[in-house]
Amino acid sequence: MTVLTTQNLRARYGGVEVLHGVDLAIEEGEIVALLGANGAGKTTLLRAICRQVDSSGAITLDGTRIDKMTTARVARLGIGHVPEGRGTFTELTVEENLRLGILARPRPVRATANEDLNLINETFPVLHEMRGRQAGALSGGQAQMLAVARALLARPRLLLVDEPSLGLAPLTTLELFNRFQSLRDAWSLTILLAEQNARLSLRVADRAVVLTRGRVSLEGPAADLQDHDALRAAYLGEAPSAPADRPFPSTRGALDD
C-alpha cells in the first residue's frame, strides 16, 4: 500500500525555487533514505510534505490530497517530523517535552498514551532516567533521541527524520541509526530519512532516493545503490570513472566499514 506520493512537487523560498518537480512514492512499512549533498533539497522536501514552505504540485497521504492543508492538519492525519537541529524545547524537562508529543495525538489514540510512554521508556531508557532534567542539558545524542521519542508519541504513520546525525559523534550516530529498523517494527512506522551519511543510511534503508539540485537523480533498492561508482556520480555530481574497488568518499559523520 502506498502511504505517500508527491507529483511534480515544486517548492520555493520567496522567488527562489528549490525543488523542481519531485515525484516520489513511499510504500507502507518502508524505510526510505533521502540522500544528497548540502543544498540538494532534502530539508525542503520534508518541509514541503509537512506544509511548512510554499509549494505546488500534488501531495497525497493514504489517498487524501494534503497539499492545500495546514501543517497542524497534516500532523493530525499522521505525519510526524523530526526537524534538523532536533527542535526540542530546551527550557522544558524531558518529561514535559514528551507530554507535548502526547498532546499532538489524534483523539482516537489518546487512550493508549500511557502504554506508549512506557514503550518509549523501554526503547530509550536514558530518557526515563533523565525525565526531570531540562532538555537543554542533554547531550547531542540524548537530545536527538528525545526529538524522535516526542514525534513517536504523536503516533504518526509516516515519520520524517531530517539529518539525525548532525553534530553527533560516530558511535552515537551508529547507535541511533541501528534503532530505526526496530522503531519501524515496534511503532508500525513508515520512515523517510533525509541524511548526508549515505553509507550508514543505506545500511538501514529498504530503498533510497537521491536528490541533486532539487531533482530526483537516482532511486532504487538500497542494496543496489551500494554500488559506489553509481552513487558517487549522483551524490557528488562526478563522472563514475574511479576504479570499482576505490572506497566511497567519506561524508559527514560517516563510519568506516
CA 186 to chain centre: 17
For residue 45, what is its C-alpha cell? Answer: 522536501
Domain ranges of the chain: 1-78+156-257, 90-155
Residue pLDDT, tens place only, 104-141:
787 777 778 889 999 999 888 999 999 999 999 999 88
pLDDT in tens, the chain (257 residues): 999 999 999 999 999 999 999 999 999 999 999 998 888 999 999 999 999 999 999 999 999 999 999 999 999 999 999 998 767 899 999 999 998 888 878 777 777 888 999 999 988 899 999 999 999 999 988 999 999 999 999 999 999 999 998 888 888 888 889 889 999 999 999 999 999 888 889 999 999 999 999 999 989 999 888 765 666 765 555 544 433 333 333 333 332 22
d(CA 202, CA 221): 9
Rg for the chain, CA atoms, rounded? 18
Residue type, 62: D
Predicted TM-score (pTM) of the model is: 0.86
Beta bridge partners of residue 24, listed in sequence order: 6
d(CA 214, CA 217): 9
Pick the closest to residue 97 from 62, 142, 61, 39 (CA basis).
Answer: 142
Q: Per-residue DSSP letters for 125-139?
A: HHHHHTTTSBGGGS-
Q: Please give the CATH superfamily to which domain 1-78+156-257 belongs.
A: P-loop containing nucleotide triphosphate hydrolases (3.40.50.300)
